């Protein structure tokens, strides 16, 4: 029997990672670190949205922030060409 190391972000927590192993458990530390950076960015975006959008609830701000953080490369492209945000996925 082989031993396999699995990694997850502390921000997700072990319980959540075990519930969603396809997206929150990783076989490399680098992938888990990348997930942690996305979650850190999402936390900052959440705070930004709550400060800038009056009446925006915490739950919706968190969902929106995570969607933006997970697609940060797309948003970076959209700064140059906004129409890429609504093009069909390839």
Q: How far is CA 16 from CA 1, 8, 21, 32, 45, in A?
A: 26, 10, 8, 14, 21
Domain 32-83 belongs to what topology?
Arc Repressor Mutant, subunit A (1.10.10)
Q: How many CB atoms lie within 10 A of CB 7?
A: 17
Q: What is the pLDDT of residues 27-66, one digit of tens each?
A: 999 999 999 999 999 999 999 999 999 999 999 999 999 9
- The answer, yes or no, to whether residue 69 has pLDDT greater than 70, is yes
Average pLDDT over residues 73-79: 93
């Amino acid at each position: 029997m082989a031993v396999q190391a699995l990694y997850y972000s502390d921000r997700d927590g072990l319980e959540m990672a075990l519930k969603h192993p396809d997206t929150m458990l990783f076989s490399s530390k680098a992938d888990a670190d990348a997930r942690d950076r996305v979650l850190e960015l999402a936390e900052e975006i959440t705070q930004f949205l709550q400060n800038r959008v009056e009446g925006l609830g915490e739950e919706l701000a968190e969902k929106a922030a995570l969607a933006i953080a997970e697609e940060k490369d797309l948003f970076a492209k959209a700064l140059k060409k906004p129409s890429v945000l609504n093009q069909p996925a390839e």
